[in-house]
Amino acid sequence: MLAAGGGIDKWWAMFNIHDDDAVRDILERHRIGNVKDYVPQPVVSLEDQWAAEPTRADGLRVLNSRPFNAETPEAALREYITPTELFFVRGHMPVPDLKNRPDFCVMVEGEGMDARCFTVEDLKRQFEEHTETVTIQCGGNRRTTMEAAYAADGAKGVKGLSWKGGAIGTADWTGVYLRDVIAACQVEPPYDPASYHVQFEGADRDAAGHFQASIPYNMATSPDADVLIAYKMNGEDLPPDHGYPLRAIVPGVVGVRNCKFLQRVTVQPDECESVWQQNDYKNFPSYETKPNHSYPSIYYMPVQSQLTHAAYNPEADAIQLQAYAYAGGGRGIQRVEVSHDNGRSFEYAATLQPRPQTGAASQEEASFPHERQWAWRQVVADTPVKDIKAAPVVRGDGTKVYLTCIRAVTTDNEVQPAVAPYNFRGLLYNGYSCKDIAVK
Amino acid sequence: MLAAGGGIDKWWAMFNIHDDDAVRDILERHRIGNVKDYVPQPVVSLEDQWAAEPTRADGLRVLNSRPFNAETPEAALREYITPTELFFVRGHMPVPDLKNRPDFCVMVEGEGMDARCFTVEDLKRQFEEHTETVTIQCGGNRRTTMEAAYAADGAKGVKGLSWKGGAIGTADWTGVYLRDVIAACQVEPPYDPASYHVQFEGADRDAAGHFQASIPYNMATSPDADVLIAYKMNGEDLPPDHGYPLRAIVPGVVGVRNCKFLQRVTVQPDECESVWQQNDYKNFPSYETKPNHSYPSIYYMPVQSQLTHAAYNPEADAIQLQAYAYAGGGRGIQRVEVSHDNGRSFEYAATLQPRPQTGAASQEEASFPHERQWAWRQVVADTPVKDIKAAPVVRGDGTKVYLTCIRAVTTDNEVQPAVAPYNFRGLLYNGYSCKDIAVK
């Protein structure tokens, strides 16, 4: 431990995200006493840990600087392909300096494997290149909506960064299929593929070790799962914030499993032991208040939608909406319904925008029983006020207000709940997305 | 048309389900006049259409006698394998007389196919036998709960049989894989498997024709979908009410596609044109009030659970619950949460009962990315009142009442909504299952 036997000031120098009152309160409860005649040592600078942090675009909504976490601004969420420089960044650690490591390679190893390390050039030379258009969503996206939904319940806090709804984005990811790389190294397949896992390790690290996460072996190797070792995002080399030079892209699966700075792939009998696999990014039941290994790790994300624009246009006397809608596991969006009475009734469907041609090798069309719709749909609705059946709420000053909500329905007939289950880590929130719209 | 140019009394003789005030009201609105000097002819007896109706068990809850529709009683819903004689029956037409048709065969034909007709003996002799434990649920299961949920909205009726929650059941189905049979007849696969369909036709019929339904070609032929042409239910020949001698079993898919009395399988470019595919058993949006071909046919059922027992036990001073939980598409149940304050908060998880060994060839374990959990889970919870955190509602007479609800969460992190979307045909209802429990 970085702080073992010493002050924890240097931890806070590295991870300012933890330097807050809540952590100080926790530490206070564990205070045994004060060391007699303790003279704090000057904090050793860890500034070099952050030396490789890239310059970021001004438009990002920054939630934390070290590690860097920022969400995509609303306007950019309305584009089918999220501009690379405005794609949300979820960093757990400093960005490693890999720009000056031409020999960097990803080690592929594990049970029944002939261990080999592949540079980007090795991958390009030895395997077929594929591009997949994939939406990546952080497990904590829309945490602020969960906070608001459970604010009335005083006992229940929600722990984590306050993502509004911009911890999601879509890009064309180019690389090679993980299944091809594993097959090339495989001497004999593991004993029971159904229970095995493939662990990813990033080159990013803190004093406790590297970032790690895993996915089931069958997902990693299935021809239907399209898992990539990617080296390009929207046609360019991966930027440092998105994992340069290599990143695991796991379509339909929560962001945290899409390991950045990929330096190691390990086939193994067990799920990853890291905190991001065992203590967090889990589907904690609504009655749970602390991390517990026994709950299931999150892979597929539930059906999601979020308003990205909702406003009254006085010229047209119409309410105009835009939104994104997404479901994990490759499932498609069947429709998005619109309510103007706070979700009591839904009056009509928004229009699912056609997918633009992206120039990427086209993704295969969805087919039963396994769909492969890896990317979100963009949604619009433009409704003249005269066509709205719901009665507006009339405020004290006479303003008429529509309590506008949307909900998405998947191709397998699942629907967003009005309010999603409480999760003390603020994960998996997918309740109706609502906004009050005043009409003049 | 049976009634063309004549009275419709004989329709009602065949389908008494339509002989109700609502239909008479509709007809009244279309009355042009009365035929002068009309002397009604005696109704020709269609009694022979119903000659093959089997004797049914007393325990079934009968909703309609012709065609026969009945649901499984609550006690039987608590067994993992539903007793055959108490398995819900959803009949659309008279049961055909196939017991005296030893030459009965299922014709397999269509585009790129060498048409062949298989008797049960042919299937047994020519193909490998498989048993799958599969839950079948009618698309209208829990329609009464939807009716109650939307009763406050006077404008919205719900059309269909009043299934409480017993239009679901689990059996061991034995037969041969449809994919093997199609492969045996296939000269060349259809041009675009992703868009093709496989249509089922039953030997049951009315004056307008045979029962028909279809599923996507890729579902019919996928090694992961396990679609059967079944000839046994729980180890015995299929009973007449469940499709003797042959039935399509489509795991994870709404009951109506599990075609009984299977006499024809057709590979074709388009979805089935029958009313059960085009006018009904569709995911109608909540704002729709009449059939419309353009909406998607239902295949996979959303996550479902229903209390099958909920009572206060005064000896133990405990609330005791039993339930089933199920999700379509082969997805598993991750947990079932229990609330005692009408779903405002959920306090703990019920216990998912282990699957009993059924004697059937064991179903493959679920694996990512495609799970194959075709059967429901049985669920129990036994909670001392002193352990319940929620405050009971106190009625006027001093009775304390807990408003107990359950909700299920799938392995892909979807959760039941508090109230499911309105569907004018009463389909896909999967809102929380609740019951008021008085505590003495």
- What are B322-354's pLDDT values in tens digits? 999 999 999 999 999 999 999 999 999 999 999
Q: Calculate how close chain B gets to A413, using CA atoms only, in Å.
A: 6
Q: Which amino acid is at B390?
A: A
Taking the Cβ of residue B294 and every Cβ of chain A, the question of whether any pair is shorter than 8 Å is answered with: no
CB A135 within 8 A of CB A375: yes
Contacts of A369 in chain B (CB under 8 A): 216, 218-219, 222, 224-225, 252, 329-330, 370
The residue among A356, A355, A349 whose CA lies nearest residue A334 is A349
Looking at the complex, does the CB of residue A251 fall below 8 Å from at least one CB of chain B?
Answer: no
8 Å CB contact of A219 and B346: no
**Token pair belonging to A329:** 């596991």
- Amino acid in position A56: R
Compute the C-alpha angle A207/A212/A216, nearest 5°. Answer: 165
CB A416 within 8 A of CB A346: no
| Angle, vertex CA B222, rays to CA B110 and CA B370, nearest 5 | 155
Interface test with A, best of B196, B286, B405, B413 (most A CBs within 10 A): B413
- Which domains are delineated in chain A? 7-28+41-46 (no CATH), 70-279 (3.90.420.10), 303-357+370-439 (2.60.40.650)
CA dist B168 to B144, B175, B304, B404, Å? 14, 21, 11, 22
A274 dihedral zone (left: phi>0; alpha: psi -120 to 50; beta)? beta
A229 touches B: beta carbon within 8 Å: no
pLDDT at B157: 81
The pLDDT score that the predictor gives to residue A361 is 44
Taking the C-alpha atoms of residue B138 and residue B276, their distance in angstroms, rounded to an integer, is 12
B361 pLDDT more than 50: no
Contacts of A194 in chain B (CB under 8 A): 364-365, 367
pLDDT digits (tens, 9 = 90+) for B366-404: 556 568 899 999 999 999 999 999 999 999 999 999 999
A190 touches chain B (CB under 8 A): no
Candidate from A224, A285, A418 with C-beta closest to B369: A224
Beta pairing class for B262-268 and B106-110: parallel
Asked if B368 lies within 8 A of A302 by C-beta distance, the reply is no
Q: Which residues of A390-409 are buried (b: 16+ CB within 10 A; e: fewer)?
A: bebeeeeeeeeebbbbbbbb
Please tell me the distance from the alpha carbon of residue A343 to that of residue A418, in angstroms, as a whole number: 7
Chain B interface, best mutation among A227, A289, A368, A424, by max B CB count within 10 A = A368
Please list the residues that pair with B437 across neighbouring strands: B402
Distance of CA B418 to the CA centre of its chain: 22
CB contact under 8 A, B218 and A428: no
Mapping DSSP onto H, E and C, the string for B151-193 reads: CCCCCCCCCCCCCCCCCEEEEEEEEEEHHHHHHHHECCCCCCC
What pLDDT is stored for residue B213 in this prediction?
98
Give the pLDDT of residue A105: 98
Q: Are A432 and A415 in contact (CB under 8 A)?
A: no
Please give the torsion angle defined by the CA atoms of residues A128, A134, A140 and A144, in that order, rounded to the nearest 10 degrees.
160
Reading the block at residue A125, the tokens are 């030379």
Of A194, A368, A415, the CB nearest to B365: A194
pTM above 0.80, yes or no: yes
Overall average pLDDT of the B241-267 stretch: 98
CA distance A357 to A130: 16
All residues at 6 or more sequence positions from B263 whose CB lies less than 8 Å from its CB, including other chains: B104, B105, B106, B107, B201, B202, B203, B210, B246
CB pairs under 8 A between A and B: 144
Q: Is A155 on the interface with B (CB under 8 A)?
A: no
Asked if A421 is an interface residue toward chain B (Cβ–Cβ < 8 A), one would say yes
Q: What is the pLDDT of residue B192?
A: 87
CB atoms within 10 A of CB B39: 5
Rounded-to-integer distance, Cα A7 and Cα B181, Å: 71
Taking only the tens of pLDDT, chain A with its 440 residues reads: 455 556 676 666 667 667 777 777 777 778 787 777 777 665 555 558 899 999 999 999 999 999 999 999 999 999 999 999 999 999 999 999 999 998 999 999 999 999 999 999 999 999 999 999 999 999 999 999 999 999 877 657 899 999 999 999 999 999 999 999 999 999 888 888 888 999 999 999 988 899 999 999 999 999 889 999 999 999 999 999 999 999 999 999 999 999 999 999 999 999 999 999 999 999 999 999 999 899 999 999 999 999 999 999 999 999 999 999 999 999 999 999 999 999 999 999 999 999 887 655 444 455 565 688 999 999 999 999 999 999 999 999 999 999 999 999 999 999 999 999 999 999 999 999 999 999 98
Q: Which chain A residue lies closest to B364 (C-alpha atoms)?
A: A194
Cβ pair B286:A370 closer than 8 A: no
CB contact under 8 A, B286 and A345: yes
Tokens of B284: 């109608």
Phi, psi of B347, deg, nearest 5: -95, -30
Tell me, what's the pLDDT at B12? 67
Give dist(CA B117, CA B263) in Å, integer: 9
pLDDT of residue A440: 83
Write down the pLDDT at residue A1: 41
Candidate from B222, B302, B368 with C-beta closest to A413 = B302
Kindly list the residues from chain B whose CB atom is less than 8 angstroms away from the CB atom of residue A372. none
